[in-house]
Amino acid sequence: MDFITPMNSNLKIEILFGHWEKMRNHVISIGSCEESCGLLAGINNRSTFVFPATNILHSPGQFQIDPREQLTIFKELDQNGWDLMAIYHSHPNGSSYPSDQDVNEAFYPEAINLIWSFQSSEWDCRAYKIIDNRINNAQIVLLNE
């Protein structure tokens, strides 16, 4: 059974439930002390692997993936023929909507931005495509393994 988050958009990202849980568990493990971050690999807009990463800024209000980790991840993407499908990070003390900084630093327009936030006593995630400073909602489709 598939689950689609309610959003009005033609854009969508298909994430295997196990990958969703891996991202969610990473976000929970970091908590509210700093933004968590990572990358999601995929083929044909369907997830293939999750790469949790280190936020070298260790900040609750911004993130930067460790450049060494990012290079290693990009090499693995190339070796496996995977695409950079999504960049995920958390807003531990804010909403799941992209911040001005998120928009200004959207350097990979091909990737969906997954933003996790703590809402109503649990972590929730929303998806956006940011191109040329325009924010577009995207659907998250969770798939069973």
The domains of the chain are located at 18-120
Quick one: pLDDT at residue 9? 54
Mean pLDDT of 18-44: 97
Q: Which residue has the higher pLDDT, 74 or 45?
A: 74
In this model, does residue 119 exceed pLDDT 90?
A: no
Inform me whether the pLDDT recorded for 55 exceeds 90: yes
- Which pLDDT value is given to residue 111? 97
Contact between 70 and 77 (Cβ < 8 Å)? no
* pTM, rounded to two decimals: 0.92
Separation CA 139–CA 80 (nearest Å): 26
pLDDT at 124 over 70: yes
Calpha distance 103→62 (Å, rounded): 12
Domain topology for 18-120? Cytidine Deaminase; domain 2 (3.40.140)
The Cα–Cα gap between 120 and 9 comes to: 24
